[in-house]
Amino acid sequence: MANPKQEIKYTKLFINNQFVDAKSGKKFATINPATGTKLTDVAEGDKADVDLAVKAAQQAFARGSVWRNMDASARGKLLYKFADLIERDINILANLESLDNGKSFSDSVFDINCAIDTFRYYAGWCDKYHGNTIPADGPFFSLTRKEPIGIVGQIIPWNYPILMAAWKWGPVIATGCVSVLKPAEQTPLTALYLAALTKECGFPDGVINVITGYGPTAGQAITAHPDIRKVAFTGSVEVGKLIMEGAAKSNLKKVSLELGGKSPLVICDDVNLDEAVEIAFNAIFANHGQNCCAGSRTFVHEKIYDAFVVKAAKLASERKLGCPFDAATQQGPQVDEESFNKILSYIESAKKEGAKLEFGGKRFGTVGYFIEPTVFSNVTDNMKIAKEEIFGPVQSILKFKTLDEVIERANNTSFGLASGIVTNCINTALTFAQAIEAGSVWVNCYDAVVPQAPFGGYKQSEFNFIKKYFFLNQQYKN
């Protein structure tokens, strides 16, 4: 159950199945964004601690180790047990997530259930990574064997702390790799609790390691470490570029990057208007707008534009902001003061550039980092809010006339993570899906993410993910 006074048990680094202080003895504060007050102090890891974690991971991955000799099916059983323990402690984890991140308790529970599904999905894959036999010329027999890459460094953001950990750990464990993970400094608490559960369910020493700390120190040490063979990062384009640079300068380690977005959602004139408004509303305001896939450019056909704007502003005005542990709350605070100030600066820039403020645009309350759900109309492509990733609860509504026009405008961005279209015409949907430069294409829905489907992106939104994911809501009706 929701408990804003949840005990915080784990605040140290997790290395080799033990909670330990940082070598430097340093700590940093993690803040409750709903109040702006300190929750607790957490160990601040840096290069020395990353070195220790890598040594532990090397021992876990050594030829002949318990982990390397473990049957693939046994890894699957461990993942299933891990998922069961998360399910057992879902209320504790949700309390910690809401305290540290600010999202509503119900949203935290939803995210954790998605993480449980993710771990169970990968548990089923553990003994299903098969090689191939290859017809070879001459008297030869040829086959391939898929091997674990080794130590994987993983750096995750603060917007979905538990779910991001699941997306990173699931494939690593399933394939027999080992991990050194750095959670975001804003939200370290749930990663540490998950680490404790990996020990409880029987993961061998050194398979999972968690280093809490800052990007320029702990994160950079992971990126530059010569014995880490791959780094997986989710976050900003700017940091992604630094990670690629560090990987190249160290040992040419493999890199997977999931970066920013400025995703278009196109609303055609043949839609059920109320349903379309709701889809667009959830596409931008879910998770307080703190979502790299967020439908942050809402393109609406000129025939229904004015009616759409009125309904969008009304929905925003009805959204309930408040304490994450209040059952009525739909939107909590932004994650920290830096994000709070950045979002407000984008709102001011929109006003100055001539966008029309339909609702919101201000701080909500006097305590914590709350921002009203904000709706702008008369937004044009050249405005800052239409070009840059805001990462907050700001809906920018743009007008279009033809499908060809809106496809060109939607693709006119350096990002290409996600997209969506709401239409009652399958030909329109298919034309858009094939033409749009985005990894995910949602039709008559948005943010439909499932473990079974691939996830990719174009341009500066992704590196090393190339598939396009097309998801059609069959239940949508005009």
Tokens matching residue 90: 């879902």
Residues 433-449 have a mean pLDDT of 94
Whether 466 shows a pLDDT value over 60: the answer reads: no
Instruction: Give the pLDDT confidence score for residue 478 in this predicted structure.
Output: 60
Average pLDDT, the chain: 95
Residues 71-85 have a mean pLDDT of 97
At 12, the pLDDT band (50, 70, 90 cuts) reads very high
Instruction: Answer for the pair 461, 440: CB distance below 8 angstroms, yes or no.
Output: no
Instruction: Give the pLDDT confidence score for residue 431 in this predicted structure.
Output: 96
Instruction: Answer for the pair 35, 217: CB distance below 8 angstroms, yes or no.
Output: no
At 333, the pLDDT band (50, 70, 90 cuts) reads very high
Distances (CA, A) of 253 to 27, 228, 246, 293, 450: 30, 7, 9, 27, 28
Instruction: Give the pLDDT confidence score for residue 222 in this predicted structure.
Output: 98
At 458, the pLDDT band (50, 70, 90 cuts) reads confident
Instruction: Answer for the pair 315, 277: CB distance below 8 angstroms, yes or no.
Output: yes
Active site residue 245: no
Tell me the C-alpha distance between 167 and 175, whole Å.
13
- A 10 A CB-CB count for 226 gives 9
Instruction: Answer for the pair 8, 188: CB distance below 8 angstroms, yes or no.
Output: no
pLDDT tens column, 351-409: 999 999 999 999 999 999 999 999 999 999 999 999 999 999 999 999 999 999 999 99
Closest by Cα among 441, 445, 432 to 402? 432
At 452, the pLDDT band (50, 70, 90 cuts) reads confident
Token pair 């504060």: residue: 29
Whether 444 shows a pLDDT value over 80: the answer reads: yes
Residues 65-92 have a mean pLDDT of 97
Which domains, from first to last, does the chain contain?
A: 13-259+461-474 (3.40.605.10), 264-443 (3.40.309.10)
pLDDT tens column, 104-143: 999 999 999 999 999 999 999 999 989 999 999 999 989 9
At 23, the pLDDT band (50, 70, 90 cuts) reads very high
Q: What is the pTM of this model?
A: 0.95
Whether 468 shows a pLDDT value over 80: the answer reads: no
C-alpha triplet 14, 201, 150: angle, nearest 5° = 60
Catalytic residue among 44, 97, 185, 258: 258
Whether 465 shows a pLDDT value over 90: the answer reads: no
For residue 188, count CB atoms less than 10 angstroms from its CB and return exposed for 0-12, middle for 13-18, buried for 19 or more: buried
Length of the chain counted residue by residue: 478
At 293, the pLDDT band (50, 70, 90 cuts) reads very high
At 476, the pLDDT band (50, 70, 90 cuts) reads low
Tell me the C-alpha distance between 396 and 380, whole Å.
9
Whether 233 shows a pLDDT value over 60: the answer reads: yes
To the nearest whole percent, how much of the chain has pLDDT over 70?
98
Residues 270-288 have a mean pLDDT of 97
3-state secondary structure of 292: coil
- A 10 A CB-CB count for 104 gives 27
Lowest mean pLDDT among 78-87, 105-114, 437-446, 466-475: 466-475
